[in-house]
Structure 1
Amino acid sequence: MDLKQKIIKTAYELFAEKGVEKTTVSEIIELAGSSKGGFYHHFKSKDEILEATTMNYINDLVMEYERILQDQDRTVIELLNLVFLKISEYKIDQIEEWPKMKILFSFSGNHVILRKLAEQFELVTTDCYLKLFRKGNEEGIFEIKYPEFLASLWTREVMMVFNKSREVIYAEQSETLHNFENLLHFTENLLNQTLGFTSHKIKIKEAALTYVQSARNEQNGEG
């Protein structure tokens, strides 16, 4: 681990333990085993290191997307399904970090970094979907006239699904889960029909429900 990553990891642990506002740059420098010069060589401020800490999530996704796009053994349909599956799996892996993240983001003005995080997620995910749609067009699998618009729409649908999943994770009424399942079925229909498929070749329901159930188990102490 190089110094920059060590500083980011140390800052994350301190932010998650004490909160951003109560953590000082001096504490980060000391616990990371860095000098002031070493710290300020990589980061200009605590706000900058906070952004780097939270954007690690995006960096991990970008690397996963790159692996998907380089996969020559799967069809475009399989790769499209794999994108959603990898997002779901990553979110499952992060469930244990929720208590830390709750503390980390409990600072004044947190909406700014959260909005930027959402914007970056939308940007990189749209780019991944766009490349797969263009690949499908080239291979004659699709006939998408405006792949850039569809990629953007598709990403917003994915974000909507995960935003709605938060309500289901904490809901006690079974009706909420039932409505969520209907939403997933509707979204699958929408995505498949847009691509001209009469059956559900594009699948999101199973992966989304697995994420929700994993999160609910964790909340109930069953994880």
Structure 2
Amino acid sequence: MNTKNKIVEVTFLLSMEYGYDNVSIKQIKEKSEIAASSIYHHYKNKDAILSYMIQKYFVEKVTELKKSCYEFEGSFIEKLRFIYYRSIGIDIQNNKKSIQIINGETIDYKNTI
């Protein structure tokens, strides 16, 4: 994993745990084991990390969900169920296994949402 993505993933995990507003660059630096200078090399500030994080985790996920929905064969109700479970991180086509793992940690969307 490259440095830029590691910074974003660590920021995402810390934000899930403490809330984005409560996460500092110092915490990101310590958890990612990346120097602050490297963080600022990739991102102007914490808000720039948030902007990239939104693009990576939300916009891309919505695009993936849309594509998966078009490919999913089933009735209207089955598609709604598919969308719901997929949006909380469960793949109903694979025995309801979690579908989002970051840095080896499974993201529990149910608790987050």
Query: How far apart in 2 are the matches of 1:39 and 1:27?
Result: 12
Compare CA radii of gyration and give the structure with the larger one: 1
Hey, which of these two has a bigger chunk of helix by percent? 1
| Equivalent residue, structure 2, for 1:32 | 32
Structure 1 length-normalised TM: 0.33
1:97 aligned residue:
109
Report the counterpart of residue 202 of structure 1 in structure 2: none
Q: Give the distance between the partners of 2:61 and 2:42, measured in 1 at CA.
A: 20
TM normalised by structure 2 equals 0.59
Alignment of 1:119-134 (within 5 A): none
Residue equivalent to 1:74 = none
2-side partners of 1:36 and 1:59: how far apart? 27
Shift in Å, 1:27: 0.8
Greater RCO (Cα-Cα under 8 Å, separation 6 or more): 1
Cα distance per residue 1:167-215 (max 9 Å; x no partner)? xxxxxxxxxxxxxxxxxxxxxxxxxxxxxxxxxxxxxxxxxxxxxxxxx
Q: Which has the higher strand share?
A: 2
Runs of 5+ consecutive residues of structure 2 not aligned to the other structure? 91-106
Superposition RMSD on alpha carbons, in Å? 3.2
The 8 Å contact of residues 17 and 100 in structure 1, kept in 2 or not, is answered as no
The residue number in structure 2 matching 1:3 is 3
Question: Between the two proteins, what is the percent identity of the paired residues?
Answer: 23
Which secondary structure does the structure 1 equivalent of 2:22 belong to?
coil
2:108 alignment partner, SS class: helix
Cα distance change, pair 80–11 in 1 and its aligned pair in 2 (3 A): closer
- Report what 1:60 is aligned to: 61
Q: C-alpha displacement at 1:11, in angstroms? A: 0.6
**CA distance change for structure 1 residues 63 and 42 in 2, over 3 Å: closer, same or farther?**
farther
